[in-house]
Amino acid sequence: MAKRDYYEVLGINRDATEDEIKKAYRKLAMKYHPDRNPDNPKAEEQFKEAKTAYEILSDAGKRSAYDQYGHAGVDQQAGMGGAGMGGFGDAFSDIFGDIFGGAGRGGGRSNVYRGADLRYNLEITLEDAARGSETRIRIPTMEECESCNGSGAKKGTTPATCPTCGGHGQVRMQQGFFSIQQTCPKCHGTGRYIADPCTSCQGAGRVKQHKTLSVKIPSGIDEGDRIRLTGEGEHGVNGGPAGDLYVQIRLKPHAVFQRDHDDLHCEMPVSFAAAALGGEIEIPTLDGVAKLKVPAETQTGKVFRLRGKGIKGVRSIGHGDLLCHVVVETPVHLTERQKELLREFESINDEDSGRHNPRAKSWMDKVKDFFAG
């Protein structure tokens, strides 16, 4: 009998993502799991078929070989993983831990859980984000109890198989025509019973501690980016692998610059005289001071772009730009002499205000038209 296409088995497109593959498999596993279909002998075959398809398509290397050569490229690998139900607890405990409460058909190994992932919010300066740096962080975590080596049992004793569920972690309850599987009330799904708990961890097998880690911050990192520290999350349960630590980056507000991806923005106050007459001013950058020529008659809102004076992002080829936004500053705390000169200037300016203040004249013309209409 010819084998069906694995994409067809899971009911997905050939360009499906990892999440789509996992979601499709979970749906079929729920539908055809033998424990849910005790009177349907075909269900187990359909379950195995879906399991084999998932095993191939969820592995990047196997999927590539299957896409290129079809079943011939993966038959040997698939045969080893899909020959029976024995590998079910190992390969798919992350999926069926949610569906069936973590209890596999054989018990024991399905009670091994991966440790939880952790997140740490790290606030850094704009300079550190641009140039990269290294810092140390101290985080709380659940570590394996040294007194009992993670067993949860008092030193010198060992956990016993739960007498209620026989080590499966779940019990089956018969209610009329329905058979319901639920978490064992005595061992709470672990499959083990600790008669004499460890006094250090009270039987949990883990204790709360703190650890200090070194974090390398790559140059160009941005607000919201994450740094993954593999295996630095919480320790697993019953010998399971540790989770990961995700360092979430936050940028401290900067006194001069605002970041927009690889570009930097800053306001550039310019005196009334410098804006009218023009001149050369100094502009701060992350690499020092740059000089910028301001042309005569520069207005508020004018933007000057200094190319390559921004930040080179983590995934960028080159540096961004620095955009300077001109703000013409009105003088304050004027002396009587300054006021006198400004009044004289205003008087001269009024003689031909349309030529000296074109924007004001244009705006006034629009106002007149508005009221006339």
Residue type, 94: D
pLDDT at 1: 54
**What whole-number distance in Å separates Cα of residue 238 and Cα of residue 152?**
9
Adjacency order of strands within the sheet including 118-124: 118-124, 245-251, 226-229
- Print pLDDT tens along the chain (373 aa): 567 888 888 898 888 888 888 888 888 888 888 777 777 878 888 888 888 888 888 888 788 877 777 777 676 544 444 433 333 333 343 444 443 434 333 344 345 677 788 888 989 999 998 888 888 988 887 777 777 777 777 777 777 788 777 777 777 776 655 667 777 877 777 777 777 788 778 777 777 778 888 889 998 888 888 888 888 887 776 667 888 888 888 999 988 888 988 899 998 888 888 888 888 888 888 888 888 888 888 888 889 898 988 898 888 888 999 999 988 888 888 888 888 888 887 777 666 555 555 565 565 566 566 566 5
Chain CA centroid to CA 113, Å: 22
pLDDT at 328: 86
Q: How would you classify the pairing of strands 245-251 and 226-229?
A: antiparallel
pLDDT at 155: 77
Q: Are 282 and 324 in contact (CB under 8 A)?
A: no
pLDDT at 163: 79
Q: How would you classify the pairing of strands 206-217 and 133-144?
A: antiparallel
**What whole-number distance in Å separates Cα of residue 291 and Cα of residue 309?**
12
**What whole-number distance in Å separates Cα of residue 238 and Cα of residue 169?**
14
Q: What does residue 62 show for φ and ψ, rounded to 5 degrees? A: -65, -40
Q: Are 144 and 242 in contact (CB under 8 A)?
A: no
**What whole-number distance in Å separates Cα of residue 249 and Cα of residue 183?**
40
Q: Three-state DSSP class for 134? A: strand
Q: How would you classify the pairing of strands 170-175 and 206-217?
A: unpaired
The closest of 161, 156, 158, 60 to 111, measured between CA atoms, is 161
Chain CA centroid to CA 155, Å: 40
Residue type, 101: G
The closest of 55, 3, 50 to 27, measured between CA atoms, is 50
CATH number for the domain running over 118-152+205-251: 2.60.260.20
pLDDT at 94: 41
Residue type, 157: T
| 109: DSSP letter | G
Q: Are 66 and 74 in contact (CB under 8 A)?
A: yes
Alpha helices in the chain (DSSP H): 6-10, 18-32, 41-57, 60-69, 75-82, 88-99, 126-131, 272-277, 336-350, 353-356, 358-372
pLDDT at 265: 93
CATH architecture designation of domain 6-85 = Orthogonal Bundle (1.10)
The closest of 238, 190, 202, 232 to 214, measured between CA atoms, is 232
The closest of 133, 117, 114 to 228, measured between CA atoms, is 117
Q: Are 5 and 63 in contact (CB under 8 A)?
A: no
The structural domains of the chain, with segments of one domain joined by +, span 6-85, 118-152+205-251, 258-372
pLDDT at 27: 86
pLDDT at 175: 62
| Segments of 115-257 assigned E as strands | 118-124, 133-144, 160-161, 170-175, 178-183, 192-193, 206-217, 226-229, 245-251
Class of domain 258-372: mainly beta
Topology alike, domains 6-85 and 258-372: no
Q: What is the reported pTM? A: 0.53
Take residue 346 and report the two structure tokens written for it: 């205003």
pLDDT at 364: 56
The closest of 150, 143, 152 to 118, measured between CA atoms, is 143
Would the CA dihedral through 133, 134, 136, 139 be positive or negative? positive
